């Protein structure tokens, strides 16, 4: 713990932590030490973990990196936090992120952008930017993030870490601040597959406080990692052909494919012709859900309240106008428009149908193949400020990550080393619903072959 405190101090300029829990972490460490001495320690004994600042930890601030919740203290802990603590992990602090997890560069945070440790002039990715940089710069062993449309996988990719988004319904979201509920998931950022597997084992499984969690049995993910298993892998041709794809990422992925083949996996190129519909469907649906979820921040129930308002309407208006940042407002307005009487059928309903088509297509592919391979991001980490003025350009960055989010299937981003400028490159792998075992097995053996 002392080592990580020092690391955090030495990397302050990266702005990864919104708060370090010095007191509660030390207290937990002492408890865990006692248990270790008595040989009663849990499966995560001594694992030092950071949590994204949209996950509730009782009696600690939780802000979603928003002015709206700047002084909000969590009245209870998220199920994921309780599960970490029950297995004797130590929670070291809360990590900077995009405001309400809306963004892909960590630049919408009320507390300023997170900087990439590979090049502090560049973004960490988002929305779980702090979660990625904390692992990248060894400020803790592993972190929790949330992934609605790529927020675990994309920053992990920009920072050379492993980002796992499990199947929708695998991990409880109780106590996680909602953005778009039919997409939101908790995921992990780690530097090894072993850690990802162990964490998933602890975090996954039914929760009486979240009815969207599946009660499917939780396999012993860690035990499946080294089993020799030949897989049939589909590469989405259009994603590699995409003009937007950085040539160095393409080359790294093609080399990765050769490694997979050399290891005895069967790799085939397949067509995926719905690429153009991913980003529009994702943003229509998530904006709609966000506008509904964020209606609770009214200046009365939670968080920021304007002090000068003369009546209730003004209180709502001023509190929301001052409490939310521009990206959150853009999405609330867009979502409200999409859900309004005259446009619901044209946008929301239509996007739901497109989502179904995408999901059917992916499920169909995953009935013929064990895994699907595609890039995580079109480019390596971009410069801070490069896209912030053009939301559409920023949204297009999500083209490869929202596929798994629209379909609900598990997905992982895996590091492929750095480009010449020292920026991390990566590849994404998807597997069938609740087939994290196969996904982790393939990932583990692939990363071992690469190194």
The binding site for ligand GLN (CB under 6 A) comprises 101-104, 127, 146-151, 179, 286, 398
Q: DSSP character for 100?
A: G
Nearer to ligand GLN, 101 or 249 (CB): 101
Tell me whether residue 147 or residue 370 sits nearer to ligand GLN (CB atom): 147
- The residues with which 145 forms a beta bridge, in sequence order, are 187
DSSP string, 183-248: T--EEEEESSHHHHHHHHHHHBS-BTTBTTS-------GGGGSSS----EEEEEHHHHH-TTS-HH
Is 127 tagged catalytic? yes
Question: Minimum distance from CB of 149 to ligand GLN (Å)?
Answer: 3
Q: Shortest approach of ligand GLN to residue 78 CB, angstroms?
A: 16
Min separation Cβ 258 and ligand GLN, Å: 31
SS3 127: coil
Contact 346, 353 (CB under 8 A): no
Q: Verify whether residue 232 is a known catalytic residue.
A: no
Check 77, 127, 407, 426 and give the catalytic one. 127
Min dist. Cβ of residue 100 to ligand GLN (A): 8
- Least separation in angstroms between residue 290's CB and ligand GLN is 8
What is the CB neighbour count within 10 angstroms for residue 77?
Answer: 21
CA distance 136 to 156: 8
- Residue in 65, 66, 151, 291 annotated catalytic: 151
Query: Is the Cβ of residue 103 or residue 415 nearer to ligand GLN in the bound state?
Result: 103
Helix ranges, 87-173 (H): 129-136, 153-158
Residue nearest to ligand GLN (CB): 151
Active site residue 151: yes
The 10 Å Cβ neighbour count of residue 316 is 17
Question: Would you say 47 or 64 has its CB closer to ligand GLN?
Answer: 64
Q: In the sheet where 232-236 sits, what is the strand order? A: 17-20, 90-95, 48-52, 142-146, 186-190, 162-165, 411-418, 424-431, 371-375, 232-236, 266-270
Q: Are 140 and 188 in contact (CB under 8 A)?
A: no
Going by the DSSP 8-state scheme, the letter that residue 73 receives in this structure is B
Positions annotated as catalytic residues are 52, 127, 151
């Amino acid at each position: 713990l002392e080592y990580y405190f020092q690391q955090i101090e030495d990397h302050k300029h990266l702005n990864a932590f919104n708060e370090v829990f010095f007191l509660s972490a030390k207290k937990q460490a002492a408890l865990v030490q006692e248990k270790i001495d008595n040989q009663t320690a849990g499966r995560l004994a001594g694992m030092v973990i950071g949590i994204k600042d949209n996950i509730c930890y009782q009696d600690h601030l939780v802000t979603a990196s928003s002015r709206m919740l700047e002084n909000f203290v969590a009245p209870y802990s998220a199920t994921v936090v309780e599960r970490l603590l029950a297995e004797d992990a130590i929670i070291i602090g809360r990590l900077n992120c995009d405001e309400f997890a809306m963004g892909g560069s960590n630049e919408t945070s009320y507390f300023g952008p997170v900087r990439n440790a590979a090049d502090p002039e560049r973004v960490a990715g988002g929305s779980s930017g702090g979660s990625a940089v904390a692992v990248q710069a060894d400020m803790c062993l592993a972190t929790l993030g949330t992934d609605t449309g790529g927020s675990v996988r994309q920053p992990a990719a920009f920072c050379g870490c492993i980002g796992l988004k499990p199947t929708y319904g695998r991990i409880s979201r109780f106590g996680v601040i909602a953005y778009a509920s039919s997409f939101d998931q908790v995921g992990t950022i780690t530097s090894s597959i072993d850690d990802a597997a162990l964490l998933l084992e602890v975090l996954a499984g039914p929760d009486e406080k979240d009815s969207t969690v599946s009660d499917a049995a939780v396999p012993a993910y860690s035990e499946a990692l080294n089993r020799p298993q030949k897989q049939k892998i589909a590469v989405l041709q259009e994603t590699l052909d995409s003009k937007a794809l950085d040539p160095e990422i393409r080359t790294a992925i093609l080399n990765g494919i050769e490694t997979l083949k050399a290891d005895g996996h069967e790799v085939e190129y397949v067509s995926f012709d719905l690429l153009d519909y991913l980003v529009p469907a994702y943003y229509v649906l998530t904006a709609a859900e966000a506008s509904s979820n964020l209606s609770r921040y009214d200046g009365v129930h939670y968080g920021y309240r304007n002090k000068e308002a003369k009546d209730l309407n003004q209180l709502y208006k001023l509190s929301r106008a001052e409490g939310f940042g521009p990206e959150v407002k853009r999405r609330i307005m867009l979502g409200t428009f999409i859900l309004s009487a005259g446009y619901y059928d044209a946008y929301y309903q239509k996007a739901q149908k497109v989502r179904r088509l995408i999901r059917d297509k992916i499920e169909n592919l995953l009935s013929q193949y064990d895994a699907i391979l595609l890039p995580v991001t079109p480019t390596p980490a971009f410069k801070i400020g490069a896209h912030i003025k053009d939301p559409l350009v920023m949204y297009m960055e999500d083209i490869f990550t929202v596929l798994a989010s629209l379909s609900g299937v598990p997905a992982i981003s895996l590091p492929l080393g750095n480009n010449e400028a020292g920026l991390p490159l990566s590849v994404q792998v998807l597997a069938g619903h609740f087939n994290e075992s196969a996904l982790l097995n393939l990932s583990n053996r692939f990363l071992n072959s690469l190194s």
